[in-house]
Chain A
Amino acid sequence: MKHERATEEIRELAALYALGSMTQHEARSFEIHMQEGCAICEAEYHRFAHTIAAMGFAAEEVAAPDYIRDLLLARIEREGQSAVPATASSSKAEGGPAQEKYPPAASPLLSSQTKRGMPLILGWICVGAVLMMAFWAFMSWRSAQETKSQLKAQQAAAKADMEELQKQISSQTDKSSRLGEILAIAHQPEARIGRLIGQSATPSYAGAIFWDTKMNQVLVMGSFHPTPQGKVHQLWFFSPTAKIPVGSLMPDESGRVFMTLSVPKEAAGATAVVVTLEPDNGAQIPTQPYCAAGRID
């Protein structure tokens, strides 16, 4: 979609893109949009690109150490110019402007050659070369060490990101699967649903049941307290004439429950659901006070 005029939203996008303050995804989207030919966005981007570049003039000038210039010239001499190698080498071969205007670092020594003789000059050249090589070796070693540690850090960060993503995917898959189970029961015409409400002793308890009366199964989900040692949370269905134990609930470490239990046939007419805390071998009569209870609709 091409824009017809610059809005504040467009200006914000262009400004953040020019600043480099978008996430990679946002920046890529904006690039694609400009590539599709939105002249408005492109004009806004160029306007801000000038501004960002102009901000670079606000930093105070600082003279770089003299040896950086020597290193630079040595580097381009060594690495060449990949885009136009032939021209570069021909310029040097012909004693081009590089050598005329910016003589090599050894040239002051060459000027003293006539005064002191060749052996002395050669000695100085050797010393200079050794010093340069030692400096280069040190710089290369330091650069390699830095690169190595950066790569290690990146690798560790990538690994951590991947583990986090795997956790998220696993969590999302789990949630999706649970939601599927709930929906499968909720779509049954014979489904009955009850809400579990925390009672006075445990007001933070909350949950729900999804009862598939055709399959005689109930899906229980809720947030309870972790089960104390030697105890068990037990689910009950109450009918007008009986209190039927359905099964034990097993909350995880955080007290969350999501599980399916078989419902005894005698619970068919149940109108209420209750959760109690019982001894770990269960009980046939629910112990009061109840932890959570609710009506089954």
Chain B
Amino acid sequence: MDQEIQADHEFPLSNEAVLALVRRIEGGDSSALATLYDKTNRLLFGLVLRILGERTSAEEALLDVYTHIWKNPASCDPALLPLEWLTTIARDRAVARLHWSKQAKRRQSFKAANRNSAMTVAPDRQEFARFSIGSLVPAQQEILEWAYYSGLSCSEIAAQIGKPVGAIKTHARLGLNKLSDLFRPMIEREVEAKTATGGNQ
């Protein structure tokens, strides 16, 4: 297993590779789904586990994510990069499950224990995302993490952490603006690469 991780680390999964796998899945190729799972399950499981806070729900959510990809490969949003589409599906499915089980308060329980240095998908993106979120002022970081990992509305977040709704909205806007500015060069580079390889069809 470690050798596999190392190999993946040396050849990170590109957006183009994900798109090619999605196209094969669209054609009903289950081996493409298995490959996509092998390459991305660590990233997406880490994400759904962070949102849901406990393994059983996270495992079920992960199954939901890949089943959704299998059944709806054509939903691959052309406005997003393929890797972004995966994290978006994973977040949406986990947050939906979180709301169903009303576990929003448990969402941070896994955070401290979840320390694993291995990065099998887009390690530069992962490091940059952590660095960028860490560079926000604490209030913006707190609100954005609440919003992202709980999927709660501003008024629900305000009720949870005891701050005015207006402040929640302002912190969310300013934090996302800053993140957007930080991410922009990297995203633009990847969009250009995707366009150049004809991956935007």
Contacts and interface: CB of A to CB of B under 8 A. Distances in A.
A88 B148 contact: no
A236 B60 CA distance: 73
B115 A97 contact: no
B33, B153, B176 pick with most chain A CB within 10 angstroms: B176
B84 A50 contact: yes
B178 to A, nearest CB: 9
A63 B30 contact: no
Contacts of B147: 19-21
Given A12-B169, A62-B116, A22 B153 contact: yes
B18 interface: no
A20 B19 CA distance: 25
Contacts of A55: 87, 129, 133, 144, 148, 179
Nearest to B115: A60
A47 B1 CA distance: 37
B47 A15 contact: no
B57 to A, nearest CB: 9
Contacts of A150: 100-101
A65 interface: yes
B27 interface: yes
A81 B28 contact: yes
B172 A21 contact: yes
A98 B148 CA distance: 35
Interface in A204-224: none
Main DSSP-derived SS at the A contact region? helix
Interface in B1-42: 1, 26-35, 37-38, 41-42
Main DSSP-derived SS at the B contact region? helix
B160 interface: no
A239 B38 CA distance: 94
Interface in A11-32: 11-12, 15-16, 18-23
A279 to B, nearest CB: 50
A50 B182 CA distance: 12
A59 B50 contact: yes
A61 B130 CA distance: 12
A101 B71 contact: no
A46 interface: yes
B29 A91 contact: yes
21 contacts: A12-B173, A19-B148, A19-B172, A22-B153, A49-B80, A53-B84, A55-B144, A56-B43, A56-B88, A56-B91, A61-B43, A61-B119, A64-B42, A76-B67, A79-B67, A82-B71, A86-B28, A96-B31, A97-B29, A99-B31, A150-B101
Interface of B: 1, 26-35, 37-38, 41-43, 45-47, 49-50, 59-60, 62-63, 66-67, 70-74, 79-81, 84-88, 90-92, 95, 100-102, 114-116, 118-122, 125-126, 128-130, 133, 144, 147-148, 151-155, 157, 168-170, 172-173, 176-177, 179-180, 183-184, 186-187
Interface of A: 8, 11-12, 15-16, 18-23, 46-65, 68-69, 71-73, 75-77, 79, 81-92, 96-102, 143, 146, 150, 153
Which 3 residue pairs of A and B lie closest in terms of their CB atoms, listed nearest first?
Answer: A56-B87, A88-B28, A53-B84
